[in-house]
Amino acid sequence: MLRPTAETLAEHATSQQLSRVLALAMDGNSQWAFLSDALADRAGLAAHLAVLAERTPHAGQDWLAVVCDDRLQPAKLREIKELAKPWIKKARCEGERVAATLLYHAAVAAACGRHGDNISARSAKARGPLYEDLADILIADPLGRIFQAAADRIAEGVLRESVGNGVEKGESPLEG
């Protein structure tokens, strides 16, 4: 039997479905509390991402800090998003899955909020409520500002939809 993953939910759910899942999570306080606690533990998230990146060319980076760099262009953010996708699948525990999913959404939100670019194949409008919730949960963290900027930009409705992957071969998300 297939187990639904955070990536599947985030990529394929409608905004109403995401809202319903969040409402259910809030009704079941233990799940919501876990998510809030997991997202608030920045050091724990970084440690989980380090485990997922070990023995790869991308080891040794604080990926959440990298995404928070205002100088990153959409192509670099798109590359980070693509790194996070297999990490979601290879996660060995819920903490790793949460960290990889957060990295995925942080990269998408940063491109959206900073540059007005939707680097996901999915419509940004569906992610608006999720990004508002993440902005509230992460209000004291630079990631909270990223999610708030994305939610605001989505609400304004002025986003460029991405065409192609826009990543040059051999580029590193930390170069340039």
Looking at the domain assignment, is residue 167 inside a domain? no
Give the pLDDT confidence score for residue 31 in this predicted structure.
47
Dig out the tokens for 35 from the structure. Answer: 């998510």
Indicate the pTM of the whole model: 0.74
Residue 99 lies in a domain: yes
Q: Is residue 1 part of a domain?
A: no
- In 22-110 the beta strands, taken as DSSP E runs, fall at none
Let me know if residue 166 belongs to a domain. Answer: no
Q: Which domain holds residue 115?
A: 6-161
Give the model confidence (pLDDT) of 94-111 as tens digits. Answer: 899 999 999 999 999 999
Query: Is 125 or 81 the better-scoring residue by pLDDT?
Result: 81
61-95 tens-digit pLDDT: 889 999 999 999 999 999 999 999 999 999 999 89
In a domain, 176, yes or no: no
Per residue in 35-62, pLDDT tens? 667 787 888 999 999 999 988 887 878 8
Answer yes or no: is 174 within a domain: no
Q: Per the domain annotation, does 135 fall within a domain?
A: yes
How many distinct structural domains can be found in the chain? 1
Domain membership of residue 43 (yes or no) is: yes
